[in-house]
């Protein structure tokens, strides 16, 4: 079964925020670019739907982890660019370390099974 092609996967709950924050550490990006970046880095496995991306961004905006600003995109169109804040970075660190612990634990369990 290991050669079954990996299809589009739904993200585990809570990881989307982490992925968005991680992506934003590259710089200010608009929503589309964030989705593209996540898809590209995961070889198309992780696909972020608009229906979850924008609510997630809104959530991050509400928490103050991200700020947004309308600006001109390279294609001369107006787009909303998101930037990670200092609290956002701190939260990302926290999430990353938790994630690292959890995924290590899962790997161990799976490895021993």
Partner 1 sequence: MSRLDGVLHRLRVLVRGERYADEVARELRFHRDLDELAAMGDSLGNETYYREEVRRMTLTTWLDRIRQDVSYAFRGLRRSPGFTAAVVLTLGLGVGVNGAMFSLLSRLFMLPPSGVERPNELRRVYATFDNEPGQRITIATLQYPQYAAMRDAVDSSIVLGIFIGADSTAMRDGNARVPTMVDYVNPDYFRVLGVRASRGRLFTADENHIESPTPVAVLSDAYWRKAFGADLTVIGRKVRIDRQVVTIVGIAAPDFTGVDVNATDLWLPANTYAGGGGYNDMPWYRAFGASFHVVFRPRTAADEQRVLIAGTNAVRPVNVKGWVYDSTITLTTGPILSALGPGKQSSDMIVANRIVGVVVFVLIIAAANIMNLLLLRTAQRRREIAVRRALGVSRGRLFEQIATEAVILAIGGSVVALAFAFWTGTALRRLILPRVHWPGGVIDGRTTTFVVATSIVVALATAVLPSLEAGRTDLTDSLTSGSRPTGRRTSGSRTTLLVVQTALCVVLLVGAGLFLRSVQNVTSIDLGFDFEDRLFFSAAFDDASAHATELGSAIPEAVQRLRQVDGVIAAAYMDYAPIVGYSVRPVILPGHDKLPQLADGERGPTVGSVSPSYFAAVGVPLLMGRDFTTADSREAASVAIVSQRLAKLYWPNENPLGKCVQLGRDAPCTRIVGVVGDTHRMSIIEKPATQMYLPIAQTTSAPRQIAVHVRPGREVAVTRAADEILRSLVTDPVLIQARRFADVTRRELRPWRLGATLFTALGILALAVAAVGIYSVVAYGVSQRTHEMGVRIALGARRADIVDLVLSEAVRVAAFGAALGIVVSLAMGRLIASLLFGITPANPVVLAAAGLILGVVAAIAALIPAWRASSVNPVNALRAE
62 scored as a contact of partner 1 (CB under 8 A): yes
Task: Put residue 69 in one of left, alpha, beta given phi > 0 → left and psi -120 to 50 → alpha.
Answer: beta
Largest CA distance in the chain: 54
Instruction: Give the interface size with partner 1 as a residue count (CB under 8 A).
Output: 29
Interior/surface letters 59-84, b for 16+ CB within 10 angstroms, e for the rest: ebeeeebbebeeeeeeeeeebebbeb
Q: Which window, 10-18, 19-27, 82-90, 94-102, contacts partner 1 (CB under 8 A)?
A: 82-90
Nearer to partner 1, 63 or 108 (CB): 63
Q: How many alpha carbons lie under 13 Å from residue 62 in its C-beta half-sphere?
A: 7
Which of residues 15, 28, 42, 79 is near partner 1 by CB under 8 A? 79
- Considering only residues 32-61, where is the footprint of partner 1 by CB under 8 A? 32, 35, 47, 49-51, 54-55, 58-59, 61
Q: Which is nearer to partner 1, 22 or 33 (CB)?
A: 33
What is the total residue count of the chain?
A: 113
The C-alpha atoms of residue 64 and residue 29 are separated, in whole angstroms, by 16
Tell me which residues in 8-27 interact with partner 1 (CB under 8 A). none
User: Which residues of this protein are in contact with partner 1, per CB under 8 A?
Assistant: 30-32, 35, 47, 49-51, 54-55, 58-59, 61-65, 67-68, 70, 73, 77-80, 85-88
């Amino acid at each position: 079964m290991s050669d079954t092609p990996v299809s589009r996967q739904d993200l585990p709950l809570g990881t989307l925020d982490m992925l968005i924050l991680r992506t934003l550490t590259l710089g200010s990006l608009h929503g589309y670019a964030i989705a593209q970046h996540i898809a590209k880095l995961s070889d198309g496995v992780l696909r972020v739907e608009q229906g979850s991306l924008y609510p997630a961004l809104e959530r991050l905006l509400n928490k103050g982890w991200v700020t947004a600003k309308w600006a001109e995109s390279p294609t001369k169109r107006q787009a909303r660019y998101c930037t990670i804040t200092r609290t956002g970075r701190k939260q990302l660190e926290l999430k990353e370390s938790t994630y690292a612990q959890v995924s290590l634990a899962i790997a161990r369990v799976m490895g021993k099974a």
